[in-house]
Every structure is written in C-alpha cells, then in structure tokens.
C-alpha cells in the first residue's frame, strides 16, 4: 500500500463572508505536507489562521478552495472517514460540566462507537495516562483549567486515533500541568503516533515539535525543524563591556554580524544564528588588542525567526 502523509494541503484557501465588506481571508493558498509519526507544530500569532486550518483538517469546515487530504482521504469527499481517524482537542475545551470525568468519556466512547467490551478498559487507561484516575467521579465543572485540558486530551486518545490534533493544548494551563501535557504529547509521538498541534508559544513549539510550519496572516512563512530555523534565521545577541567601545563599530563588517550598537562603554552585537558570535567577538578583541568582557549571550529563539521573516514579533501582533 502506498503510504500517505498524515496531512496534505494543496492551495488551501478559506474565506469567511462579511456583511458590507470583502470576504475575510483566514487561510490563503496554503501548501503543506505533514508526515506520519511526528509532532508537527503550526506556530503563528492570534488570528493567523491556525484554528481555521485545523478545522479543515478535522473535517469540520470545508475549504473554500484547494484540497485537504488526511492520510490520503479528501476531507470534502469523505469527511466521516477523516473524523474516524483523528482525535481532536479543540481550542475551546467542549466538555460536559455537569457530568463526571468518567461520564464524559463514556459518552464520547458511545458517540464514536468504541467497541463496547473495551470501553471501560480504555477509559481507565486514558484517565491514568493523563493523571486523572483519582478524580474520575468528580464533576468536570469543578475541574481546574489544566485538568479540563488533560481530560480533553484523554477524550481524544480514547478512540485510538491515527492522528491527534491539539489546538493550543496548553492555553491557560499552569507550568506543572503544562509539563505533564507536554510529556504525554511527546510520548504519543515517541510511540509512533502522529500529533498536530497549534501554538503561539514559541517555547511549546521548541519543546515539542519535530518540524513546524510558521504561519502569518493565513499564509505559510517557513517550515523546518525548530533548531534549523533558529540556526538559519535566528539572531544571537552578545552584550559586552570594552575599554575601547568605539572601535567595535568595525566589527559590523565581519561576516555573520548583523548589527553593532554602542552606548557608553556597553556594546550590543547582533549576529546571525549560523555563526558562533562569542568566537567572533573574542577574535575581534584579540586582533585589535582591546579588552572585552562579555556580560550576556542570548541564544536565538523562534520569536527571532518570526521577526526575521515577518518584521513583527509573535507577541506584537497578539491582539
């Protein structure tokens, strides 16, 4: 059998009609291939089209133009097959607050026709996985936000889907619950599963994603492994003190140095991510016979990548 990628988007475009205005283009001519067996991240600021894209992939929203195939199945032609193969944790965790954790899972197992004889065993298993066994009989309305996100993940795992889709899995979740969720998500892929997650936290993309797509205003800006993207597009910042600050001006001519800013006896050197900036700085000081004291080095992060690609930061845009 030919092996299909987990997701394949070809010229995906999603428009929403607006009264008395042009259509809002949420996703614009988006091409993307997501392989099986990875954690794949969609990173972008608020309103960049992540949820819209995920809703198309989940067969909840038909594309305006272009195609979306999930494991080779066209979402437009066979949405129910697509839905049967994926488990979705939506951005707004839609759980039943008046039911207990266990009842929520029982309801979902029935809805998705999980084999009757296996239901209880699977419910026990997923509750255990997300660390909620002890709270199974409690009403979900009494759960904290982080516990609700974990239960939503348990529910997505219940049907043993080929692909798990998580829309902002740790939004509003505390550090402890976040780490527990990250571990579960990572373990899923380490066991051969496929996970697609959206996030506007660069730390999350960095920590979890094998590969990621950066999107902005509904268009694809870049794809690659987080480290690759950081190395080619990120910026290092080296802050230093020197007895001859003015002479550092000349460092700007060196390959890999994007900018040198001098204020008083302090110098800030901005270097492209593919060079070792500390080495460059030390070599420069030695060859010019000037002293240098490096006070800090900031490694490039995905925010620098986003800035380099779009001219704005992930946060600037967050409305």
Ligand X SMILES: Nc1ncnc2c1ncn2[C@@H]1O[C@H](COP(=O)(O)OP(=O)(O)OP(=O)(O)O)[C@@H](O)[C@H]1O
Decide if residue 58 touches ligand X (CB under 6 A): no
Give the nearest distance from C-beta 168 to Mg ion in angstroms.
Answer: 6
* CB of 39 closer than 8 Å to CB of 195: yes
Query: How many residues of this chain interact with Mg ion, rule: CB under 5 A?
Result: 3
Q: Are the C-beta atoms of residues 68 and 61 closer than 8 Å to each other?
A: no
Residue 51 CB, shortest distance to Mg ion, in Å, is: 3
Does the protein bind ligand X through residue 96 (CB under 6 A)? no
- How many C-beta atoms lie closer than 10 Å to residue 225's C-beta? 12
Could you say whether residue 188 binds ligand X (CB under 6 A)? Answer: no
User: Minimal distance in Å, beta carbon 50 to Mg ion?
Assistant: 5
Lay out the sheet containing 163-167: strands in order across.
86-89, 163-167, 194-199, 39-43, 211-216, 219-224
Judge contact between 151 and 140, C-beta under 8 A: yes
Query: Per rule CB under 6 A, is residue 92 in the interface with ligand X?
Result: no
9, 41, 49, 307: residue in contact with ligand X (rule CB under 6 A): 49
Binding test (CB under 6 A) with ligand X, winner from 104, 200, 272, 303: 200
Residues 51-90 that bind Mg ion (CB under 5 A): 51
Residue 57 engages ligand X in binding (rule: CB under 6 A): no
Please list, in sequence order, all residues whose beta carbon lies within 8 angstroms of the beta carbon of residue 70, skipping any fewer than 6 positions away. Answer: 6, 7, 57, 59, 82, 85, 86, 163
CB atoms within 10 A of CB 3: 8
The answer to the question of residue 24 lying near ligand X (CB under 6 A) is yes
Q: Which residue has the tokens 């516990």?
A: 147
Report how many residues bind ligand X under the rule CB under 6 A.
13
Binding interface with ligand X (CB under 6 A): 16, 24, 26, 44, 46-52, 91, 200
């Amino acid at each position: 059998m030919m092996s299909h990628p987990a997701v394949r988007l070809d010229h995906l475009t999603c428009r929403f009609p607006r009264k008395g205005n042009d259509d809002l283009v949420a996703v614009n001519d988006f091409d993307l291939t997501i392989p099986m067996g990875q954690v794949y991240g969609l990173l972008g600021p608020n309103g960049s089209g992540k949820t819209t894209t995920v809703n198309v992939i989940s067969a909840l929203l038909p594309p305006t133009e272009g195609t979306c195939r999930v494991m080779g199945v066209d979402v437009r032609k066979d949405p129910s097959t697509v839905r049967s193969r994926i488990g979705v944790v939506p951005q707004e965790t839609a759980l039943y607050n008046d039911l207990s954790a266990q009842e929520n899972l029982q309801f979902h197992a029935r809805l998705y026709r999980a084999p009757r004889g296996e239901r209880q065993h699977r419910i026990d298993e997923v509750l255990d996985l997300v660390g909620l066994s002890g709270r199974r009989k409690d009403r979900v309305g009494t759960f904290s936000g982080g516990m609700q996100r974990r239960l939503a993940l348990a529910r997505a795992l219940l049907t043993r889907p080929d692909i798990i889709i998580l829309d902002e899995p740790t939004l509003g979740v505390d550090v402890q619950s976040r780490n527990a969720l990250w571990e579960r998500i990572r373990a899923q892929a380490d066991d051969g599963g496929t996970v697609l997650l959206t996030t506007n936290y660069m730390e999350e993309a960095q920590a979890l994603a094998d590969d990621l797509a950066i999107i902005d205003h509904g268009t694809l800006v870049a794809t690659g492994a987080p480290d690759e993207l950081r190395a080619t597009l990120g910026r290092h910042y080296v802050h230093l003190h020197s007895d001859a600050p003015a002479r550092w001006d000349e460092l700007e001519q060196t390959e890999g140095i994007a900018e040198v800013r001098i204020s008083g006896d302090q110098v800030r050197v901005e270097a492209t991510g593919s060079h070792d900036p500390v080495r460059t700085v030390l070599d420069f000081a030695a060859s010019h016979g000037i002293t240098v004291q490096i006070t800090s080095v900031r490694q490039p992060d995905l925010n620098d990548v986003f800035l380099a690609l779009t001219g704005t930061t992930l946060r600037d845009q967050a409305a």
